[in-house]
């Protein structure tokens, strides 16, 4: 009887021990749950921070790349780069040969060019017209009465850059109504490009203000990001069209 009572006591003690051990393991697991949650939050935060840092770095790098680009059209639309026009060759449509009163001052093939392209470099020699009349030899003179203007509807200047070149735009320095004598800025300057010098594609159009300034000149900027070997500017206007300088930027 004593042995049976002792055996029952031992079994009861063993049951209590097993219950106690099981409860402890459960508590330990529950205690670990917040720790795991903190670990996951930390991992997520670290991943987010790393992603944000990487994105910020990439954005800064891209910004630096854009700001360090020396050529092209910047955020203000200004044309930047190197003027390569002096290294190019160019040809012109007819310059005006003005007749006398007997021809109503019309085009006269027997007369010399009234405002010639001196030595074939006046447009790229860096000599800008700066006098308040039309006597400055830096000007060359087109006119709507020229036969090729009458045929085509425009006068033109065509540049050969020698090879396909990435360009950002052109600047044309034109005479305005401040010069008087029937000289006004062209009503439009069309900017064309070509791969072969025969087939032309219109890229952009510049419209002078014709407001004039103290020198009667205006710089017309025509932006274009393209690659080409040939550049052609076509001028349209009523009366004299004076051009002093052309710059092409690459």
Residue 73 lies in a domain: no
Structural domains of the chain, count: 2
Q: What is the pTM of this model?
A: 0.69
Query: Does 245 lie in the same domain as 134?
Result: yes
Query: Does 243 lie in the same domain as 129?
Result: yes
Residue 74 lies in a domain: no
Could you give the CA distance from residue 196 to residue 228 in angstroms, rounded to a whole number?
9
Query: Does 150 lie in the same domain as 37?
Result: no
Residue 212 lies in a domain: yes
Ramachandran sector of residue 249 (left: φ over 0; alpha: ψ -120 to 50; beta: rest): beta
Q: Which residue among 68, 95, 114 closes a domain?
A: 68
Query: Does 139 lie in the same domain as 186?
Result: yes
> What's residue 214's pLDDT?
67
Which residues of the chain are under the pLDDT cut of 50?
1-10, 13-14, 16-76
Query: Does 104 lie in the same domain as 48?
Result: no
Q: Which residue among 42, 68, 94 closes a domain?
A: 68
Domain that holds residue 61: 1-68
Could you give the CA distance from residue 103 to residue 194 in angstroms, rounded to a whole number?
38
> What's residue 73's pLDDT?
42
């Amino acid at each position: 009887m004593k042995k049976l009572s002792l055996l029952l006591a031992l079994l009861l003690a063993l049951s209590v021990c097993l219950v106690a051990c099981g409860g402890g393991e459960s508590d330990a697991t529950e205690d670990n749950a917040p720790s795991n949650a903190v670990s996951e939050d930390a991992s997520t935060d670290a991943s987010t921070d790393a992603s944000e840092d990487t994105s910020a770095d990439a954005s800064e790098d891209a910004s630096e790349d854009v700001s360090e680009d020396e050529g092209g059209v910047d955020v203000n639309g200004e044309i930047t780069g190197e003027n390569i026009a002096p290294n190019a060759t160019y040809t012109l449509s007819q310059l005006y040969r003005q007749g006398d009163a007997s021809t109503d001052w019309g085009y006269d093939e027997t007369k010399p060019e009234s405002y010639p392209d001196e030595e074939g470099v006046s447009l790229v020699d860096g000599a800008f017209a700066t006098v308040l009349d039309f006597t400055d030899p830096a000007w060359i003179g087109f006119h709507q009465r020229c036969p090729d203007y009458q045929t085509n509807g425009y006068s033109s200047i065509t540049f050969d850059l020698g090879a396909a070149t990435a360009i950002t735009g052109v600047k044309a320095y034109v005479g305005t109504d401040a010069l008087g004598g029937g000289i006004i800025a062209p009503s439009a300057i069309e900017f064309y490009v070509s791969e072969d010098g025969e087939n032309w594609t219109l890229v952009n159009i510049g419209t002078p203000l014709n407001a004039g300034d103290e020198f009667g000149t205006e710089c017309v900027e025509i932006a274009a990001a393209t690659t080409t070997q040939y550049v052609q500017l076509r001028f349209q206007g009523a009366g004299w069209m004076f051009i002093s300088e052309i710059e092409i930027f690459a």
